[in-house]
Every structure is written in structure tokens, then in C-alpha cells.
Amino acid sequence: MSDELLAIGDRVVALAAPGEQVEAVVVRGLDTEIKVYEGEVESLSSAQSAGVGVRVVADGRQGFAYAGTLDPEALAETLAEARDNASFATPDEFLGLAVPDGVAPAELDLYRESLVTFPASRKVELAVELERAVRAADPRISGIEAAEYVDSVGEAAIVTTTGIRSVSRDTGCYLSVYAMAEEDGETQTGFGFSVGREPADLDAALAASDAAGRATRLLGAVKPTSERLTVVLDPWVTAQFLGIIGFTLSGESVLKGRSLFADRLGDDVASPLITLVDDPTDPAAFTATDADGEGLATRRNVLIEGGVLQKFVHNSYTARRAGTVSTGSAVRGFKSTPGVGTMAVSLAPGTATQAELVAQVGEGLLVQDVAGLHSGVNPVSGDFSTGAEGLRIRGGELAEPVREFTIASTLQRMLHDVVAVGGDLQWLPMDASGVSLVLRDVTLSGA
């Protein structure tokens, strides 16, 4: 199958004019999404999609176009449109496609035929079982907002006039459920999920008990009073926090004057407990991949080690401009040119369980979930403020639930205020892993 995508890429690249660099990104995917409600299939979507993105660099100018089809006539049209777009761009001596750099792609096994052949009826059974398990988990579970099984089979080829000829494919699936618990007329919600490369990896019982546990333990939650305190971030929350830190370490943010950490290489930017690694070659990562968005091999990049800033991530353009080499960190879909970003970040874990961290903290707050990271966090200024819900920590144990409050600090301070990293590392359905993280001196705004 993938040979076909490479062949399409070859056909586009063969149309390059003399002196012109051309890149074709060709993707195809098959996605299935099954939602169930009250034991019945609410919707089942099964759809194949495909597309091509074409980038042209000529005379130091870059243009791009895409089409959501692999029709032969669309390929030439898309190339012509990209070429025309390039003529309006400002020349930039650092522009250019990736060039093979000799780094061998990691041998990752991300494709499972077992997912491709798994019958739709069995997928439905998994989703129905998930919903049943959530509803049975606790008598206070009053309903579900969504219970779903989702999978995807994806393949991508990148071909360039500069000698890149990369192809990759992978499979992935997950179960997710959003449950509601009700008691004395009050409703609380909780989610649970399970992620894998093939259906056999999925654990519906775990997803269900997580969702039910998260929803029921918030019942009776009150608005806490404002104060400064120590918080334990749940792995799910930590992973979202790491995603924001990832933005500040992008070579593009640095070069364009939008990173807090520009000019800070070699400095102490975090607590000595913090070692932050971006490693898309870790097969356990949901977003693992052996090739980046320009077709270069991905690699393990240590960004912060023992609190000291080591490295920014780069694609070919930002690397050339910064006088360094690509870290294999070009990120993109077929509808855009490559950006730069972390792909699979994680903190080097400690050894303590969440319960041990809670005991060490003594008095504080466990943050179970956050809301509004996109609206209350500014990765350029570093201002951090987010809605939150969770459980108070009293006498080293989880105590009463709390909701409708915010926690706030700045990204700069939060990295320094880390006082413990948990050992409970888990990969989540996103581009980061999570681990329980203890931060001191965070402002809680409530009643």
C-alpha cells in the first residue's frame, strides 16, 4: 500500500522545474469511530481519507498548496498552485527542503494487522462493554455523555527533490468515556480512557473504573477559599503542562522572539529534579513515529537535564537559521508546511507513587483536571492560570473534593517550584506522557 503513496510522491517530484525544490507529502488514512449510548450504537463512522500537500522552494521563496484527494489531475494542479504561491513570498536564504542527514530511522513497530482485520462488530462490543462497565461501577453513576471506540490506520510518504524518500505507517486505537455521577441533585463528571496500537491493548474495565472514580469522588465538591498552597498535579494534568513547555522550546519560537527561554541555553531554568526528554522513537508513546514532517529520522532529544536547559528542537529551516542541525522535529499535517515542535515529551520519573507524594505533601491539593489552558495560559509571557477541580490533601491523605477555582503562577516559576516528580509515568492519548508532579507556592483563587 505504502509503495503506492511513494509512487504518487515520485510523480509530483518528477514535475519539478530546473532549479526548483519540490516536496510531496502524501497521506492516506482509514478512521473508525463508534459511539454508543444506552447499549445501542449511537453512531458508527467509517471513512477513508487521503490527501497531498506540495511545497515548492524556488529562488529562496516558499509556496504551498494541498488537496484532499489523490486524483492524478489534482496533483499537477496542486503543484502549479504551490509554485504560483511561492512567487509572492519574500526570499529567505535559509529556506529549503530537508536534506538526508545520515541518521537512520529507529526501527519501530507501530503497525498492527490485527487492528485492520478486527471486525466492526467486535469494536461495537468493546464500546458497549465500556459503557456497561461504567454504569455498573457505582450506583451513583447517572449517565454518560459519551462512550466511544476510535481507531485509525494511517500511512504517509514524503518525497523530495533533495533525496528524501520516507514512508511510514501506523495503527492506533482508544476507548474513552465521559461519565456523570449524581447525588442529592448535584452532578459531577469524570473521564477515563485506554490507549493502544491494537484492540487487544485496550482495557475497558480500567477506563470505566477511572471515569467512575473520578466522577464520584468529586460529589459534594465545594468552592475552596483562596490561598497559596502546594499542589500535586495528576499525570493527566502534568502532560498538558508539558505540552505548553514544549512550545517554549521550539526553535521557531526562539528565533522569532516568542520564547521565554531564548538566550537561556546552559542556564538553570528548572528545579534540579526536572529532566525533560522529547523522544518520538519511544514505541510506548501514543505519538511515536520514525520520521518527522520533513522525512528525517526522529531522535531522542534531551531538552532539560537536571534543571539545565540543553537544547531547542528544530526543523531544517530553523536549524539552518540558527546555525545548527535539525533535531528531526518538523511537525505537520498534509494541509500545512512543517512547523517545529516537540512530539513525545516526558519527564524522567522519580520513584514515589501518587499516594506517597500526597503523604509527603501533608497539606495541599490534588489537581485532578484543568479547564481553559488555551484561554488562561500565555506561553509567550509565561502567565499561567487555569480552572481546576480536585481533592484537598489533609494530614497526608486525600480529603474533601473541591471545584470552581483556578490555580495560577507563571511557567518560569512553576518549573523552579517543582519539589517532587512521581514514578507513575503513563503515556496518554496526546503528544506527552504524564507523571504526578508536586509544585509548591501555587495560588488558588476560590471563594
Partner 1 sequence: MIEESVISRVLGTALHTGGDFAEVFAEDKHSSSALFDDGKVEELTSGRDRGAGIRVVVGDTTGFAHTADLSEEGLRAAAEAAAAAARGGGGGTRTVALTRQSASRGYDIVTLPEDVPKAAKVELLARADEVARASGDAITQVSASYGDSHRRILVANSDGLLATDDTVRTLFTVSCVATGDTGMQTGRESVGHTVGFELFDLCDVEELARRAADRALTKLAARPAPSGQMPVVIASGGGGVLFHEACGHGLEADLVGKGASVFRGRVGERVASPGVTVVDDGTMAREWGNLAIDDEGHVAQRNVLIDDGVLTDYMWDHLRARKEGRASSGNGRRQSYQHLPMVRMTNTYLLAGTDTPADIVASTERGVFVKHLGGGQVNTATGDFVFGMTEAYLIENGEVTEPIREGNLIGNGPEVLTRIDALGDDFAMGPPGTCGKDGQGVPVGDGVPTLRVTSLTVGGTAA
Q: Which of 3, 72, 73, 90 binds partner 1 (CB under 8 A)?
A: 90
Query: With binding defined as CB under 8 A, does residue 271 bind partner 1?
Result: no
Q: Which of 10, 20, 92, 203 binds partner 1 (CB under 8 A)?
A: 92
Q: How many CB atoms lie within 10 A of CB 55?
A: 26
Query: With binding defined as CB under 8 A, does residue 117 bind partner 1?
Result: no
CA distance 356 to 436: 11
Query: With binding defined as CB under 8 A, does residue 446 bind partner 1?
Result: yes
Q: Which of residues 200-229 bind partner 1 (CB under 8 A)?
A: 223, 226
Query: With binding defined as CB under 8 A, does residue 85 bind partner 1?
Result: yes
Query: With binding defined as CB under 8 A, does residue 305 bind partner 1?
Result: no
Number of amino acids touching partner 1 (CB under 8 A): 79
CA distance 266 to 50: 44
Query: With binding defined as CB under 8 A, does residue 353 bind partner 1?
Result: no
Give the residue with the Cβ less far from partner 1, 187 or 324: 187
- In the complex, the smallest distance separating the C-beta of residue 413 from partner 1, rounded to whole angstroms, is 9
Query: With binding defined as CB under 8 A, does residue 97 bind partner 1?
Result: no
Q: Which of 382, 390, 401, 434 binds partner 1 (CB under 8 A)?
A: 382
Query: With binding defined as CB under 8 A, does residue 273 bind partner 1?
Result: no
Q: Which of 43, 114, 324, 353 binds partner 1 (CB under 8 A)?
A: 43
Q: Which of residues 230-249 bind partner 1 (CB under 8 A)?
A: none
Which residues lie closer than 8 Å to 325 by C-beta, 6 or more apart? 101, 314, 319
Strand partners for 177: 147, 192
Query: With binding defined as CB under 8 A, does residue 126 bind partner 1?
Result: no
Q: Which of 152, 161, 189, 360 binds partner 1 (CB under 8 A)?
A: 189
Query: With binding defined as CB under 8 A, does residue 378 bind partner 1?
Result: yes
Question: Nearest 5°: phi and psi at 109?
Answer: -110, 85
Give yes or no for a contact between 211 and 142, defined as CB atoms under 8 angstroms apart: no
CA distance 128 to 424: 29
Q: Which of 100, 213, 220, 387 binds partner 1 (CB under 8 A)?
A: 387
Give the residue with the Cβ less far from partner 1, 228 or 362: 228
Grid cell digits, residue 271: 528545579
- DSSP classification of residue 250: B
State the number of CA atoms in the 13 A half-sphere of 83 facing the CB.
Answer: 16
Q: Which of 18, 19, 48, 263 binds partner 1 (CB under 8 A)?
A: 48
Give yes or no for a contact between 129 and 204, defined as CB atoms under 8 angstroms apart: yes
The 3-state secondary structure of 42-86 reads EEEEEEEEEEEEEEEEECCEEEEEEECCCCHHHHHHHHHHHHHHH
Residue-by-residue DSSP string for 252-320: HHHHTT--TTTT-TTSB-S-TT--EEE-TT-TTSTT--SB-TTSPBP--EEEEETTEE---B--HHHHH
Q: Which stretch binds partner 1 (CB under 8 A): 15-23, 34-42, 99-107, 270-278?
A: 34-42
- DSSP classification of residue 423: S
Q: Which stretch binds partner 1 (CB under 8 A): 80-88, 125-133, 151-159, 415-423?
A: 80-88
Query: With binding defined as CB under 8 A, does residue 67 bind partner 1?
Result: yes
Q: Which stretch binds partner 1 (CB under 8 A): 62-70, 324-332, 358-366, 414-422?
A: 62-70
CA distance 237 to 96: 38
Query: With binding defined as CB under 8 A, does residue 383 bind partner 1?
Result: yes
Give the residue with the Cβ less far from partner 1, 28 or 299: 28
